[in-house]
Amino acid sequence: MKHGKRYNAAAALIERQRTYGIDEAIEKMKASATAGFDETAEIAINLGIKPSQTIVRGTCSLPHGTGKKVRVLAFAKGEAQKQAEEAGADYVGGEDLAKKIQEGWLDFDKVVATPDMMPVVGKLGKILGPRGLMPSPKTGTVTKDVGKVIGDLKKGMVEFRSDRYGVIHSIFGKVSFDASALRENLIAFVRSVLERRPEEGVKGRYIRKVAISSTMGPGITLDLGELLQAAEEAS
């Protein structure tokens, strides 16, 4: 795959075969983010799992948020609807919202639902599922406490799920964040993944490799020993 001059210049800052300590990796990521917009800080975690048998999924409330405005849609009625509105949900409803989605409307980033609304939401599985928007009890987005979850999502809660290769891809802020904020977000995310270690389906080491990058920048492999120690000390 051919890359442009900007990417190649950024890649020249990184030694491909080397692992970096947390602080130096973040410094390199910020230095290699030279696009004309505020790039997102991204993370990829290679897990030692059997992807055909095991999925690792969950949520993480990033201490310093994601730097993105999150549009939340809530399926709720009655008292739960009132809680969702007070918590700042951008859209709240039931069958009316389901109909709009079936007609092609998707102007939202996260979906929350109360358990009693799942018969309505379930009809949207083929639309929301492939886009990673389907509410689930495993990620806390199917809940009676919609107000709290909506508040967490607005503050910077991210969902994660291992893919068919056993890799988790997510974000942990914006490159413009202070290095200390990025460090805290990064450690919090890794800690959340550690806490979701499955009881079965792990082959050897649970977390095998962690790399970070900016949206348009090259991957930077982290020193796994330092990172896991920092995550454990923060728990």
Contact between 150 and 88 under an 8 Å Cβ cutoff? The reply is yes
Tokens representing 111? 């979906």
Contact between 47 and 166 under an 8 Å Cβ cutoff? The reply is yes
Sign, Cα dihedral of 137, 142, 145, 150: positive
Three-state DSSP class for residue 8: helix
Closest CA to 212 of 166, 160, 172: 172
Residues 76-104 have a mean pLDDT of: 96
| Position 208 confidence tier, pLDDT thresholds 50, 70, 90 | very high
Kindly list the structural domains of the chain, giving each domain's residue range(s) and its CATH number in brackets, ordered by start.
5-66+157-234 (3.30.190.20), 72-154 (3.40.50.790)
What pairs with residue 112 in β-bridges?
74
| Position 83 confidence tier, pLDDT thresholds 50, 70, 90 | very high
C-alpha to C-alpha distance for 229 and 217, rounded to whole angstroms: 26
pLDDT digits (tens, 9 = 90+) for 146-188: 999 999 999 888 989 999 999 999 999 999 999 999 999 999 9
